[in-house]
Structure 1
Amino acid sequence: MRTWQVGDVMTREVVTVQAETPYREIVDVVLRRGVSAVPVVDGFRRVLGVVSEADLLHRVERAGEPAQRRVFESRRRRGARERSEALVAGGLMTAPAVSTYPQAPLSVAARLMDREQVKRLPVLDDLGRLVGIVSRSDLLRVHLRSDAEIREDVVQEVLRRVLAVRDGLVTVGVRHGEVTLAGGLDRRSAVELAGRLAGQVSGVVRVINAIAYNADDTVTDPGQVMPVA
Structure 2
Amino acid sequence: MSALLVRDVMAKGVVTVAPDLAYKQIVDLLVDVGVSAVPVVGEDRRVLGVVSEADLLHKVEFNGADVHAGLFERRRARLAKEKATGETAAQLMTSPAVTVPATATLTTAAQIMERENVKRLPVLDDDGELVGIVSRRDLLRRYLRTDDDIRAEILDGVLRRVLWIDPIEVDVAVTDGHVLLDGKVDRRSTAQIAVRLVRSVDGVVGVTDELEWGFDDTSLQHRHTFDA
Q: TM-score, normalised by structure 1?
A: 0.94
Distance 1:162 1:178 in 2: 21
Q: Which residue of 1 aligns with 2:109?
A: 109
Q: Which residue of 1 aligns with 2:76?
A: 76
Distance 1:60 1:67 in 2: 12
The yes-or-no answer on 1:31 pairing with 2:31 is yes
Distance 1:13 1:189 in 2: 46
Instruction: Note the C-alpha offset of 1:144.
Output: 1.2
Q: Which residue of 1 aligns with 2:62?
A: 62
Q: Which residue of 1 aligns with 2:212?
A: 212
Distance 2:92 2:195 in 1: 48
Rate the CA distance shift 1:189–1:69 in 2: closer, same or farther, 3 A.
closer
Q: Which amino acid aligns with 1:109?
A: A
Instruction: Note the C-alpha offset of 1:106.
Output: 0.6
Instruction: Note the C-alpha offset of 1:221.
Output: 8.3
Q: Is the 8 A contact 2:155 2:167 kept in 1?
A: no
Instruction: Note the C-alpha offset of 1:64.
Output: 1.8
Rate the CA distance shift 1:219–1:19 in 2: closer, same or farther, 3 A.
same
Q: Size of the alignment, in residue pairs?
A: 222
Q: Is the 8 A contact 2:46 2:130 kept in 1?
A: yes
Rate the CA distance shift 1:165–1:37 in 2: closer, same or farther, 3 A.
same
Q: Which amino acid aligns with 1:102?
A: A
Residue aligned with 2:220, SS: coil
The yes-or-no answer on 1:126 pairing with 2:123 is no
Q: Which residue of 2 aligns with 1:14?
A: 14
Q: Which residue of 2 aligns with 1:197?
A: 197
Cα RMSD after superposing both structures: 1.3
Q: Which residue of 1 aligns with 2:87?
A: 87
Q: Which whole-Å deviations, capped at 9, do the CAs of 1:109-135 have from their partners, x for residues lacking one?
A: 101111111111100011110000001
Q: Which residue of 2 aligns with 1:143?
A: 143
Residue aligned with 2:219, SS: coil
Distance 1:33 1:115 in 2: 27
Instruction: Note the C-alpha offset of 1:7.
Output: 0.8
Unpaired runs of 5+ residues, structure 1, are: 223-229
Q: Which amino acid aligns with 1:180?
A: L
Unpaired runs of 5+ residues, structure 2, are: 223-228
Distance 1:149 1:34 in 2: 33
Give the share of equivalent positions with the same residue, in percent. Answer: 51
Instruction: Note the C-alpha offset of 1:71.
Output: 3.1
Distance 2:221 2:25 in 1: 72
Q: Which segments of structure 1 move beyond 4 Å, counting only runs of 4 or more? A: none
Distance 1:23 1:221 in 2: 65
Instruction: Note the C-alpha offset of 1:167.
Output: 3.0
Distance 1:207 1:167 in 2: 17
